[in-house]
Amino acid sequence: MSPTHETMRELSGLYVLGALAPADLAEFEAHLASCEICRTEVSALRPVAAALPGTVAQVEPPALLRGRVLEAVTGQSTSSHARSRPAAAPIAPWLAAAALLAAAALGGYAVQLRGRITNLEDQLEQAIARVSLADQQVADARRTALDAQFQVAVLAAPDLLRIDLAGLPPAPAASARAFWSRSRGMVFTASSLPALMPGRVYQLWVIPDQGDPISVGLLEPDSSGTLTRVFQTPADIPPPMAVAVSEEPAGGVPLPTGQLYMAGKPV
C-alpha cells in the first residue's frame, strides 16, 4: 500500500463531488490507478454523490475564484480585482460547501455501509438459527426414538406391572397410568394435570411396602396437562405398593413434602 493511501483516501469524497483542485485531482487519479481500496471507496461513494444534487443546493464557485483558476491555467488575467483582493475571503464559502458535501457523502456512505452490515448480520443470525433449529430437531428426533424404544422395551417386559392412578382432591379430573418393569424401568402417562404456580413441580413416587417413598423423577406436563415419559428406575427398587404424584418445590425433594395430586395401586 502506498504511504500516501490514507491521505488520498480522505480525498475520495471530494473527488466524487468533482471538488478536487487540479493538482490534487492528478495526484488522486494516479493513486486511484494503483489502489483497489480507494477505487472501491470511490465506486461506493458515486451513487451517494449522484443523489446529492437533488437534496443539497448547488453552490457555484464564485466568479472571482473561476477567474483565479483560469488565470493560473492560462497565465492571463481575467479580472482586474483578482490580485487586489485577499484570497481567503472569496474561496472560503465554496470550500466550506465542498467540505459539507464531502461530509454528507461520507455520512451517506456510512449509513449505506451500516445498512449492508445490519443486513449481513441478520442473514447470519437467520443462518445460525436455522442450523441450531436443525440440531434441535435432530436431538429431539433422537430422544423421541430412544424414548419409543425404551417404552417398547418396558411394555414388552415379562415382569410388567400396571398401576392406574386417579386424581385426588387438588386435581379430581387428572388421571394417569404407570407401566413398571423392575428390570427395564417405568413408562408414565398422565392427562388433565392442572398447571402449577411458578417454582412448583410435579414429582413421581414409588411407595414400597416398607420404607420411604422413592423418587422416580419430575413430571413436566404440557400446557394441556398431558405427558408421557419414560424413567429409569433403580434395579434394587422394591415392588411398589403404590405410585403417587405430589406437588413439590422446583428441582424436587428427596422425600415427598407437598400435597398428593394422584395415587394408585398395582392392578
Decide if residue 45 touches Zn ion (CB under 5 A): no
Decide if residue 165 touches Zn ion (CB under 5 A): no
Residues 212-251 that bind Zn ion (CB under 5 A): none
- Alpha-carbon span 70 to 243, nearest angstrom: 103
Terminal CA-to-CA distance of the chain, rounded, Å? 86
Least Å distance, CB 21 to Zn ion, is 18
Least Å distance, CB 5 to Zn ion, is 4
Least Å distance, CB 91 to Zn ion, is 27
> How many Cβ atoms are within 10 Å of 15's Cβ, its own excluded?
24
- Alpha-carbon span 216 to 254, nearest angstrom: 10
- Alpha-carbon span 135 to 25, nearest angstrom: 56
The count of chain residues that interact with Zn ion, using the rule CB under 5 A, is: 5
Instruction: DSSP for 158-206, please give it.
Output: TT-EEEEEEE-TT-TT-EEEEEEETTTEEEEEEE-PPPPPTTEEEEEEE
Cβ-based nearer residue to Zn ion, 8 or 14: 8
Decide if residue 46 touches Zn ion (CB under 5 A): no
Residue span binding Zn ion (CB under 5 A) among the ranges 2-10, 97-105, 127-135, 232-240? 2-10
Residue span binding Zn ion (CB under 5 A) among the ranges 8-16, 68-76, 204-212, 225-233? 8-16
Decide if residue 35 touches Zn ion (CB under 5 A): yes
Among 109, 241, 229, CA closest to 176 = 229
Cβ-based nearer residue to Zn ion, 6 or 236: 6
Q: Specify the pairing of strand 175-181 against strand 161-167.
A: antiparallel
Applying CB under 5 A, among 14, 17, 20, 38 the residue interacting with Zn ion is 38
Least Å distance, CB 30 to Zn ion, is 11
Binding footprint of Zn ion on the chain (CB under 5 A): 5, 8, 35, 37-38
